Structure formats: C-alpha cells, structure tokens
Structure 1
C-alpha cells in the first residue's frame, strides 16, 4: 500500500494568505470547537523542514551526526538549519 503523507495546508489556494484553523472536532463524541486558531509554527514549515527538525532533535542536536546520517557535509547541514531558523523567525514576527 502506498503511504502518501498529507501536508496540512498553510496558505489559501486562492489568494495565498495564511490559513487559520477555524474548527476542531472530536471523532468519538462529535463535539466541535469553533474559533480562530493560528497554525502551530512548526506546522507552517514544509514537510522536509519538519523532518529535518525531527531528525535534529533525535540526533540530540548534533549537526555532525546529522551530516553523517544524511550523507551531507557539515556546512550544508548547518546552512539547512540556518534557513529553517530564518523561516521560523519570520513566522514568529508575522504572528497570525
């Protein structure tokens, strides 16, 4: 069976504005909570960036270990992390 991971959309497909969660529902009792909830900051990252963060945590923050596991140079892994840091900082500044 093909496992296709779905990404939670974070931008409007029509106008590209940031999306907000407006409803949450319980599949057990069918309770629904409505309101405006910003997406968590990590959910706003691309799937490959989210995976990088998970791998970073699993490697205890060792970029050297990550470089070995990914088959990349240390400077390349450092640049990937720096790019994610910039993106996170931009997302924090533009709080939804």
Structure 2
C-alpha cells in the first residue's frame, strides 16, 4: 500500500500531525515532516532498498534488473539529486 504524502485535493505535501503508541495509547501531536526516503515514489524506495541489499553494487543491480550499468548509474544519480532537493 502506498502511503499518501500528497493531498488528494490540491497535491500539496501532507504532514504527519499525530503519532500514537499501539501499546500504551500515548499520543504525540505536532507537525512532523516525512523523512526523505518516504518522499520517494514506491518504485524509487524499492530501488534504494535493493541498492542497500546488494551492498551498493551497481553492477549486481544491473544484472538483477536486466539493465545496463550506465542505466542503473543514471537512476541512482537521479535519486541522489531528488533527495538533495528535499
């Protein structure tokens, strides 16, 4: 399931306003920004996860994805730039 980070009505980035403990029911209210990795699209998050699980080996990722090394490198560079913009 995709976690909504943009408002379905106006497309503005949403914020978390309440956190709660499922054990003791403590609640914390405020305005919390999403962590940078949560702001990525689900397929981008999956790419980052696979990158970590492959110990940062772009060569291994390219083999598993059936894509060329430069294609995978470009994807990583795009994600780095996107994360810097957050």
What TM-score bracket applies, with the shorter chain setting the length?
over 0.9
Deviation at 1:42, TM superposition (A): 0.2
1:55 equivalent in structure 2: 50
Give the structure, 1 or 2, with the largest relative contact order (CA under 8 Å, sep 6 or more): 1
* TM, length-normalised to structure 2: 0.94
Unaligned residue ranges in structure 1 (runs of 5+): 1-5, 92-96
The answer on 1:46 being equivalent to 2:41 is yes
Deviation at 1:82, TM superposition (A): 1.2
* TM, length-normalised to structure 1: 0.85
1:18 equivalent in structure 2: 13
Aligned length: 86
Unaligned residue ranges in structure 2 (runs of 5+): none
CA RMSD, 1 decimal = 0.9
The answer on 1:66 being equivalent to 2:37 is no
